[in-house]
Amino acid sequence: MLRRPDETTAATQTIWVHGRELRSERMRELLASVMSARVVFIPESAWSDPERSGEAPSVLVASPRDLPLDEAGKALLRRWTRRVAVVALEECQRAEVALDVIEAGVHDYLGLDKTDPDELAMRLRLAAHRFEREAELRRESLTDELTKLLNRRGFLAHAQERLAAALRDQRQLLLLYADVDDMKSINDQRGHHAGDRALMSVARALRLTFRANDVLGRLSGDEFAVLAEGATLRDVRKIERRLRAHLAGVSLSLGAATFDPGSPSSLQELLGRADAAMYAMKHRHRFRLR
């Protein structure tokens, strides 16, 4: 028999369940017993919007019979698999469904006809472990090794998702582009260790200036970008003052662009406008943070 988690662990575990086939008291009792967890049946409204579904559970169990496995359905399922461990579960496993759910990225596919309670418990825990490992590798692949901000790939991915949400919710965003002044001189005259310290100083200043849910990234050697919620071009001077208060011995040039959901721009267009504004201000010796 599998060892049951202690009471502290059990109290914090939650399983979400989606699908009419699984909405039974028998299924609730089975899942609750094998994982010693609280079982919550999620409504359709939550299923259609993974990113706004609240705190993620330990595992999401979904019935393939209630999943549209066309391209749109698979895309939605993939969004869930980036958020939580997803296990496809039904009474009888079907070979014709297996490929579809695996292509959608689920962490396991099980049929109760071939899975006893102990194996179900083990497979659910393995799915949760697999998800955590994948999430860790994904974070590493999207993180800049030196500054621990998002790297270019990570920034573009997160910013694209944030723009889509802002368009849906009709919210403005501010894109800020920052360039370290005289980076080549710092490296040539003071050495690359000094250059690394300057970059880490900028990353620290950005973290202290912006909120935890803003998107911060290092795009290239000396270029940084921020996508901030609840800010407009009118806030740039205030942001400048805050950055300057946290910077020591490093000069930055800034440029900014606003995402307006009423007249939406692509991420590349926003980056281009902010980059052009940054270079214009650099050449005019304005907006340089010293």
| Count of residues in the chain | 290
- Domains of the chain, first to last: 7-141 (3.40.50.2300), 152-289 (3.30.70.270)
182-218 per-position pLDDT tens digit: 888 888 788 888 889 999 999 999 999 999 999 999 9
Query: CA angle at residue 199 from 242 to 223, to 5 degrees?
Result: 85
132-172 per-position pLDDT tens digit: 999 999 999 999 999 999 999 999 999 999 999 899 889 99
Helix axes 183-190, 192-209, angle to 10 degrees: 140
| pLDDT bracket for residue 72 (50, 70, 90) | confident
pLDDT at 287: 47
Q: Give the span between the Cα atoms of 46 and 34, in whole angstroms.
A: 25
Q: Is 281's pLDDT higher than 90?
A: no
pLDDT at 5: 35
- Nearby residues of 92 by Cβ (< 8 Å), 6 or more positions away: 111, 112, 113
122: three-class secondary structure by DSSP = helix
DSSP string, 25-80: HHHHHHHHHHHT-EEEEPPHHHHT-GGGS-S--SEEEE-GGGS--SHHHHHHHHHH
Side-chain half-sphere of 128: how many Cα atoms within 13 Å? 16
Share above pLDDT 70 across residues of the chain, in percent, rounded to a whole number: 94
Share above pLDDT 90 across residues of the chain, in percent, rounded to a whole number: 54
Side-chain half-sphere of 115: how many Cα atoms within 13 Å? 21
Contact 16, 80 (CB under 8 A): no
Tell me if the pTM is above 0.85: no
- Name the one residue in this structure whose structure tokens are 């472990």: 129
